[in-house]
Amino acid sequence: MITVRISDDSLAIACGADEVAAAFEAAGCTVERVSSWGMHWLEPLADIAGQGFGPLAPEDVPAVLAGTSDKGIGCIEDHPFLARQQRFTFARAGKTRPLDMGDYIAAGGWAGLRAAERLSPAEIIARVTASGLRGRGGAGFPTGIKWQTVANAFGNRKYVVCNADEGDSGTFADRMVMEGDPFMLVEGLAIAGLAIGAQKAFVYIRSEYPHAIAKMHAAIAASADLVAPFEIEVRVGAGAYVCGEETALLNSIEGKRGEVRAKPPLPAIEGLFGQPTAVNNVLTLAAVPFILAQGAEAYAAVGFGRSRGTMPIQLAGNVRHGGLFEAGFGLTLGELVEAIGGGTASGRPIRAVQVGGPLGAYHPPSDFHVPIDYESFAAADGLIGHAGLTVFDDSVDMGDMARFAMAFCAAESCGKCTPCRIGSTRGVELIDRLRAAPTAGDAALLEDLCETMRFGSLCALGGFTPYPVLSALKHWPQHFGLIPETTP
């Protein structure tokens, strides 16, 4: 009897994994549904005794079983895409069945929590602080310091809130954690609860991720006894990108409009239901079990400058080898999209890479030398955000993308602050006007508007929308009609 391992990650399913699995079963194989390795261009990827085949369609199954398929990629773990990675958070990716407790334990699961249970809250926080872990949601705030603030705050009740509202186009690492290794997130939440003295955690998941929601529900139910009396509850968003902003997310859990709150007070002091709350991103919490199990030093040993540990980088958009690439900070943008990503999927030259989601800047190839770390990208007028890299080939009109950035902001603005509420709509209109009849005055007005939004907005939605707009304007003025289009 042949055992075939095929992912049940929603990307694999979207690419036909269920049909391929059914074909293997029909052919008499035992099929195990595991997490995804993250080599998305190969999905659906079948793993038969460590040998990989992909991307498969049901009609490829007979050839695979007959040993005649040309879709073989050899030993999966030796694949260069994987071999170059350093997997801490995604160590189990592709190897375990997401909701199989036995698989999780066998692969080292719960070791972090067991270790944390032997420590005092202060010791847990000290280890997280020592690891250099910074929030993976984009702002890069040191996690240990945030936890310490919550631990010190006075409150009748404290909360851990997992921000699983990752809605940035070009990112999917959170989704892969929740779908592929949900117990790891549960473990991270439980450790956070111990550290800050919280009784309850909420995992706020965007409604666009139904599979992640289902897996998290199941994993929480299966591990309830292991983390008790700590309680974890899934909350489902309702179609509001802005709820990825932590204070809007807290309002949403409370059952309010997802409007951004002014800070201070910080959520760490006055967060969910007015109580001290640690709001952490999925990847941040997912990194915690490793730190507790393997030690802060093991985590801190990897990285670049003040950006310690690994970063799950997501290669997306028009890229040949799209998927998840976890590595220490410090690889350059060019290495990632060209050497690792293999250039565009279309085979055309890369025109731009948007780094950090819809609020990230568009980088031309001239930025390819910039290493992936928080500080270097800030210096290059960008941000790494969630470390999603969206590749565009030379068919893209960057004027369209600048307009889209404003339109996206207008569609998702909570409407509380004026620069974002009115500015994003005016931005769309202004870019249209500029492109229809370019004038220096309107170009200057667009820059002024971006300045108003950047420094005037209440949160990053309005505040960072100028990144894609201004980067497009700066690097591709011809797409706004401001200089003549030249053919290279």
Partner 1 sequence: MDLVAAIVAAHAGREGPLLPILHDVQAAQGHVSEEAIRTIAHGLNLSRAEVHGVVSFYHDFRTQPDPRPVVKLCRAEACQARGVEALVAALPPQNQVRIETVYCLGLCSAGPAALAAGRPHARLDAAKLAALVEAAT
Partner 2 sequence: MGYEPQADLGTPAAIGAATVTLAIDGRSITVPPGTSVMRAAALAGGSIPRLCATDSLEAFGSCRLCLVEIDGMRGTPASCTTPVAEGMAVHTQTPRLQTLRRGVMELYISDHPLDCLTCSANGDCELQEQAAAVGLRDVRYGFDGASHLGQPVDGSNPYFDFDPSKCIACSRCVRACDEVQGTLALTIQGRGFASKVSAGLASDDFLGSECVSCGACVQACPTATLQEKSVKEIGKPERSVVTTCAYCGVGCTFRAEMRGEQLVRMVPWKDGKANHGHSCVKGRFAWGYAQHQDRVLSPMIRESIDQPWREVSWEEALAHTAAELKRIAARYGRMALGGITSSRCTNEETFLVQKLVRAGFHNNNVDTCARVCHSPTGYGLKTTFGTSAGTQDFDSVEQADVILVIGANPTDGHPVFASRMKRRLRQGAKLIVIDPRRIDLVRSPHNAATHHLPLRPGTNVAVLTAMAHVIVTEGLADQAFIRERCDADEYAHWADFVSETRHSPEFLAPVTGVDPAELRAAARLYATGGNGAIYYGLGVTEHSQGSSTVMAIANLAMATGNIGRPGVGVNPLRGQNNVQGACDMGSFPHELSGYRHVSDAGVRALFEGEWGVAIDPEPGLRIPNMLDAATDGTFKAIYIQGEDILQSDPDTRHVAAGLAAMECVIVHDLFLNETANYAHVFLPGSTFLEKNGTFTNAERRIQLVRKVMEPLNGYEDWQVTQELARAMGLDWNYAHPREIMDEIARLTPTFAGVSHARLEAEGSLQWPVNDAAPHGTPVMHIDGFVRGKGKFVVTEYVPTDERTGPRFPLLLTTGRILSQYNVGAQTRRTANVVWHEEDRLEIHPADAENRGISSGDWVKLASRSGETTLRALVTDRVAPGVVYTTFHHPETQANVVTTDYSDWATNCPEYKVTAVQVAPSNGPSAWQQDYDALSHRARRITREPAE
Sites of contact with partner 1 (CB under 8 A): 10-11, 13-15, 40-41, 43, 166-172, 174-175, 200, 207-212, 235-241, 252-259, 273, 314-319, 322-323, 345, 354, 358, 388, 390-393, 396, 401, 404, 408, 411-412, 414
Does 429 bind partner 2 (CB under 8 A)? Our answer is yes
How far is 245 from 262, CA to CA, in rounded Å?
Answer: 11
Does 361 bind partner 2 (CB under 8 A)? Our answer is no
Q: Which helix (H) or strand (E) holds 162?
A: strand 159-164
Task: Give the pairing type, strands 277-281 and 159-164.
Answer: parallel
How far is 330 from 327, CA to CA, in rounded Å?
Answer: 9
Span from 27-35, 52-60, 338-346, 406-414 in contact with partner 2 (CB under 8 A):
406-414
CB of 301 to partner 1, least distance (A): 29
What, of partner 2, partner 1, none, does residue 423 touch, CB below 5 to 8 Å by kind?
A: partner 2
How far is 357 from 185, CA to CA, in rounded Å?
Answer: 23
What, of partner 2, partner 1, none, does residue 267 touch, CB below 5 to 8 Å by kind?
A: none
Looking at residue 211, its amino acid is H
Tokens at 310, concatenated: 């690994």
How far is 299 from 290, CA to CA, in rounded Å?
Answer: 8
Span from 67-75, 104-112, 282-290, 454-462 in contact with partner 2 (CB under 8 A):
454-462
Does 411 bind partner 2 (CB under 8 A)? Our answer is yes
CB of 416 to partner 2, least distance (A): 5
Interface with partner 2 (CB under 8 A), residue from 423, 469, 470, 473: 423
Does 416 bind partner 2 (CB under 8 A)? Our answer is yes
Tokens at 120, concatenated: 């005092």
Does 381 bind partner 2 (CB under 8 A)? Our answer is no
Task: Give the pairing type, strands 310-317 and 307-308.
Answer: unpaired
CB of 451 to partner 2, least distance (A): 7
Tokens at 439, concatenated: 């004038």
CB of 1 to partner 1, least distance (A): 29
Nearer to partner 1, 10 or 452 (CB): 10
How far is 350 from 33, CA to CA, in rounded Å?
Answer: 35
Asked if residue 433 lies in contact with residue 418, where contact means CB atoms within 8 angstroms, the answer is: no
Tokens at 419, concatenated: 């620069």
Interface with partner 2 (CB under 8 A), residue from 14, 106, 262, 379: 262
Report the DSSP beta bridge partners of residue 134. 142
**For partner 2, how many residues bind (rule: CB under 8 A)?**
35
How far is 358 from 401, CA to CA, in rounded Å?
Answer: 10
What, of partner 2, partner 1, none, does residue 316 touch, CB below 5 to 8 Å by kind?
A: partner 1
Report the DSSP beta bridge partners of residue 46. 6, 53
Span from 96-104, 311-319, 407-415, 477-485 in contact with partner 2 (CB under 8 A):
407-415
Asked if residue 201 lies in contact with residue 192, where contact means CB atoms within 8 angstroms, the answer is: yes
CB of 437 to partner 2, least distance (A): 12
Interface with partner 2 (CB under 8 A), residue from 129, 199, 425, 478: 425
Nearer to partner 2, 198 or 450 (CB): 450
CB of 259 to partner 1, least distance (A): 8
Nearer to partner 1, 273 or 455 (CB): 273
Does 171 bind partner 2 (CB under 8 A)? Our answer is no
Nearer to partner 2, 91 or 443 (CB): 443
Nearer to partner 1, 292 or 319 (CB): 319
Does 142 bind partner 2 (CB under 8 A)? Our answer is no
Q: Which helix (H) or strand (E) holds 453?
A: helix 440-456
CB of 341 to partner 1, least distance (A): 9
CB of 203 to partner 2, least distance (A): 24
What, of partner 1, partner 2, none, does residue 441 touch, CB below 5 to 8 Å by kind?
A: partner 2
- Collapsing DSSP to helix, strand or coil, 4 comes out as strand
Place of tokens 């999780």: 104
CB of 369 to partner 2, least distance (A): 27
Task: Give the pairing type, strands 46-48 and 30-34.
Answer: unpaired
Cis peptide before 55 (omega within 30 of 0): yes
Of 244, 404, 218, 377, the C-alpha closest to 304 is: 377
DSSP-assigned states of every residue in 284-321: HHHHHHHHHHH-HHHHHTSEETTEESEEEEEEEES-TT
260: which DSSP letter?
A: P
Asked if residue 70 lies in contact with residue 60, where contact means CB atoms within 8 angstroms, the answer is: no
Nearer to partner 2, 199 or 418 (CB): 418
Footprint on this chain of partner 2 (rule: CB under 8 A): 240, 257-259, 262-264, 410-419, 421-426, 429-430, 441, 445, 448-449, 451-452, 455-458
